[in-house]
Structures are given as C-alpha cells and as structure tokens.
C-alpha cells in the first residue's frame, strides 16, 4: 500500500469535511495525520445506501483502502463477535467521518484538557483525540475485551499507544482513573431517559459531555451537555441527528406479541379511525425522536402485508397495545386499541403537539440530567418539559 496514496486520501477526506462545514479548523491536522485505514481489519463492511458491502483487503486492496476514506460507516464486528451468529446485528464499527467530526467539534476541547471516552471501538476517535491533546490525556473505556485488544493494537500501529484503553462498563465510575475529566464523549448510544448520570460526576463543573442518544420509539440525536457549577447536574441542547449502536447494558428485548394478546386478534380491542397515517411517522427520524421523548416507554413494530402496512404499538409494562393499518391513498386508517392506555391516542397527541410547535428540530430540544437520577427532555427552555407539553 502506497504511503503517498494514504496521505492523499486523508487530505482529500479532510477537504471534503471542511467544505461541508463539519470539520472544525482545530481538528483538521488530526484528520490529516491519523491514518483511518490502520483502524480497520482486513475485512470490514462499508455502509453504502443503507446496505453493508463487504470490503476485503486481500481480494480488492484498492476498494478496501478507498472505503476507508469515504464518508461512510464501517462495520468491524457483528453479533458481539459471535461469528456463527449469521451477521444479524453490527456491534462495533468505525463511525462515519462526518459524525466523528461533528461530535469532536461539539466537544470544544482546549489544550491541556483531559478526555474520557466511552466506547473505544476500533480506536480511531481516541486516536484523533490523542493527536490533538496528547495520548496521556485520553482515557477510553470499552466493554468488549476483544475489541479493546484490537483498539490497543491499532493505536500502537498509529504511534499513539500511550492512550489508556480500559475494559469495563463506561457508565461505571469505578472504571478508569480517579478525578474528573474536562470532557466526556460517548461513541455508543444511550436511551435519552437513561443517559448515565455517573457521567455528570465524572466531568468537571463547567465541563462538556457529548453523547448520542435515542428513544425506544426510534430517532436519535447528539446531546451536548454542560455540567453545572455545583457538579450535580448537566444540561444542554441536542445538536443534530445521530444513529449509534446502543450501549450493551441498554439493549431492549421486546416480549412476544402473545404476551400482549394472549387470545385471537383483535381480542377486546376498541375500533376507531384516524386521519394520521403512521407511515408519516415512520418516514421522519425527527418525528420518531419527538414522540419517543414524550412517550419513553412505548415502541413499535412495522408489519407489511401486501400493499397494507400494519403498525403495532406496545408499552414496556406489557399492559397495552394498538394497531393502525396504513393503506395507500386512504385518508382514514383503521385503529384498534387495547389495555388501560390508549397508545395510539397518546402517539397522535404527541405528533399533534410537535406539529403545532412548528415541527421543531433537534436544536430546539434539550436535556437536563441530574446526579439524583432524573433526565428531562425539554423544548426551548428547561422550564418546558416535553413529556408534559405533549400529553
């Protein structure tokens, strides 16, 4: 592999990110200096138009290298390393450079800062931090021991082996050195209502936490929080859409439909109609985020049947369910609801509230997290909790 080719690819990638306005000038030298291809295995899967395409260094070295410097995510592990799992879920990856650059810009680091990273993955993000701040100022925590071994090797190959990479739960304050970091960045997603409050205590007052979040209902966004002067809370706005792997401790295993509907469908469900096509919700990542932030214990399954799509909605308490049949070119859609909660009515209310507010984007939503365990999503102002507005 030609060193000149790799250098040119790094510069070209930095040029693209800069032209798109996502690469802060302070991070350009790191993107140009750190070889992204050193953080990829000999076989990885590149996301192209939502499809994972296999890249094999031995079979196609030029394609393998080109993929390393495109603005795409690269899957480096499936099914927690279970090679017999059939590649059902990707569980470690090299994030899309655009997202890496945006989140590092949100972090707002300064010379001398100490950074704690949660979710080392292949180690590229830690390498960029180490190049900017110095390896001794970066501590990264990764829950998968095998991934840690690979990351340490990758960092060493890039000349940044001084980064401390630890095995453990990134939400556990006992993992890592004592004292608070100036900045904390996560490269794995937490539920917006379950963002680890321990991160507040691990960050200095006035420090910044940058973390991708998601809702059980769908949708995701990066939160940028600043720790209060008393160190007991952190608050800030969301900065844009984000789609990251869920923290392993927060993966949700939904119960079977039979747990909700033990008899024949539709059971005791009440029938009605709605003018809201659930496909409108499914087509908007932002709408899913807004609804999920208002209804954190509700999720859905989408079931196509020919031209029709039946949307199933469930609560995590396993007490209530609803269905809505989406049929093309219809203005009304059949609804069934069962249980003490009328889930579709709640979803419709959250959607309507979001619409009446002007379909606010991520930047109008914010999050407050306290060390006592509360997490509150708000709209425009911390005094306007979203879950209360949207009910």
Catalytic residues, by residue number, are: 95
User: Which residues pair with residue 65 across a beta bridge?
Assistant: none
* Structural contact between residues 191 and 296, judged by C-beta atoms closer than 8 angstroms: yes
CA gap 8, 177 in Å, rounded: 38
Cβ atoms < 10 Å from Cβ of 10: 19
Ramachandran assignment for 158, one of left (phi > 0), alpha (psi -120 to 50 degrees), beta (any other): alpha
CA gap 232, 305 in Å, rounded: 50
Angle, helices 97-107 vs 3-19, to 10°: value is 60
CA neighbor of 37 nearest in space, from 86, 80, 74, 12: 74
Burial of 285 (0-12, 13-18, 19+ CB in 10 A): middle
* Structural contact between residues 222 and 102, judged by C-beta atoms closer than 8 angstroms: yes
CA gap 280, 288 in Å, rounded: 10
Locus of tokens 């932002």: 286
Taking the CA atoms of 105, 110, 116 and 120 in sequence, report the sign of the dihedral they define: positive
* Structural contact between residues 187 and 244, judged by C-beta atoms closer than 8 angstroms: yes
Angle at 104 between CA 56 and CA 226, to 5 degrees: 145
What's the alpha-carbon Rg for the chain, to the nearest Å? 22
| Phi and psi torsions of 119, nearest 5° | 100, 80
């Amino acid at each position: 592999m030609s060193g000149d080719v790799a250098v040119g690819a790094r510069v070209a990638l930095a040029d693209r990110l800069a032209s798109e306005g996502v690469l802060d000038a302070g991070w350009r030298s790191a993107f140009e200096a750190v070889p992204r291809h050193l953080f990829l295995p000999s076989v990885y899967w590149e996301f192209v138009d939502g499809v994972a395409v296999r890249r094999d260094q031995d079979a196609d070295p030029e394609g393998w290298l080109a993929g390393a410097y495109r603005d795409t995510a690269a899957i480096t592990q499936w099914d927690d390393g279970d090679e017999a799992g059939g590649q059902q879920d990707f569980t470690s990856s090299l994030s899309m450079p655009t997202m890496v650059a945006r989140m590092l810009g949100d972090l707002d680091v300064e010379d001398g800062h100490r950074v704690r990273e949660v979710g080392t993955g292949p180690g590229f993000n830690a390498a960029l931090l180490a190049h900017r701040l110095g390896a001794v100022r970066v501590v990264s925590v990764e829950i998968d021991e095998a991934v840690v071994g690979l990351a340490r090797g990758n960092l060493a190959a890039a000349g940044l082996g001084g980064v401390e990479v630890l095995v453990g739960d990134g939400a556990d304050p006992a993992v890592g050195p004592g004292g608070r970091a100036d900045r904390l960045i996560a490269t794995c997603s937490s539920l917006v209502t379950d963002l680890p409050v321990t991160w507040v205590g691990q960050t200095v007052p006035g420090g910044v936490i940058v973390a991708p979040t998601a809702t059980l209902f769908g949708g995701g966004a990066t939160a940028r929080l600043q720790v209060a002067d008393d160190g007991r809370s952190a608050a800030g706005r969301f900065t844009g859409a984000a789609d990251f792997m869920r923290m392993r401790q927060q993966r949700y295993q939904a119960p079977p439909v039979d747990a909700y509907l033990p008899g024949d469908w539709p059971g005791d469900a009440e029938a009605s109609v709605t003018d809201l096509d659930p496909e409108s919700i499914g087509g908007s990542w932002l709408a899913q985020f807004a609804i999920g932030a208002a209804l954190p214990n509700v999720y859905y399954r989408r079931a196509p049947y020919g031209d029709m799509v039946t949307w199933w909605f469930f609560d995590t308490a396993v007490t209530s369910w609803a269905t809505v049949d989406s049929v093309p070119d219809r203005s009304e859609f059949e609804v069934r609801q069962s249980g003490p909660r009328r889930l579709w009515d709640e979803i419709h209310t959250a959607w309507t509230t979001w619409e009446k507010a002007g379909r606010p984007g991520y930047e109008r939503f914010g999050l407050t997290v306290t060390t006592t365990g509360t997490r509150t999503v708000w709209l425009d102002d911390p005094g306007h909790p979203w879950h209360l507005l949207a009910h």
